[in-house]
Amino acid sequence: MTMNEKELRSSSGFALFGLGLLLMFGGVGFIAATGGPIGGGLIFGIGFIILIGLTVINPNEAVVTTFFGDYMGTMKQSGLRWVNPLFRRKKISLRARNLNGQKLKVNDKLGNPIEIAAVVVWRVGDTAKA
């Protein structure tokens, strides 16, 4: 089975961050004002679940999401993003990386000494396969 990368649409997390904090403080305030732990706890819990769905994506970074082991998509938009809190998120770097091999002394066909080295440059192309 081959997986292809697909873009996961996510919403901006700034509004939901404010909403989550508002609900959490509102739940605590509801408990303090009325003494009703069930209603206030429910409001607090909804705010907490909203905050769990927030993730920060840095430049040159992607977040691969899975839902019970099934690939759901990849988020590449940098910034504060919100996605379903039940999704498991794994960050993957998209930066180019270098691997410098050390110099080796070898002899060519005629017996002349030659120094060789290798520099390998690589980066992740398909985050679904990574």
Q: Supply 67's token pair.
A: 């839902």
Spell out the residues 6+ positions from residue 25 whose beta carbon is closer than 8 angstroms to its own.
47
pLDDT 10s digits, 39-89: 999 999 999 999 999 999 999 999 999 999 899 999 999 999 999 999 999
**CA distance linking residue 64 with residue 57, whole number of Å:** 11
Spell out the residues 6+ positions from residue 4 whose beta carbon is closer than 8 angstroms to its own.
126, 128
| Mean per-residue pLDDT over the chain, rounded | 90
- The burial class, CB within 10 Å (0-12 / 13-18 / 19+), for 89 is middle
**CA distance linking residue 3 with residue 79, whole number of Å:** 26
Q: At 37, is the pLDDT very low, low, confident or very high (cuts 50, 70, 90)?
A: confident
Q: At 18, is the pLDDT very low, low, confident or very high (cuts 50, 70, 90)?
A: very high
- Residues 103-123, mean pLDDT to the nearest whole number: 90
- Residues 97-115, mean pLDDT to the nearest whole number: 91
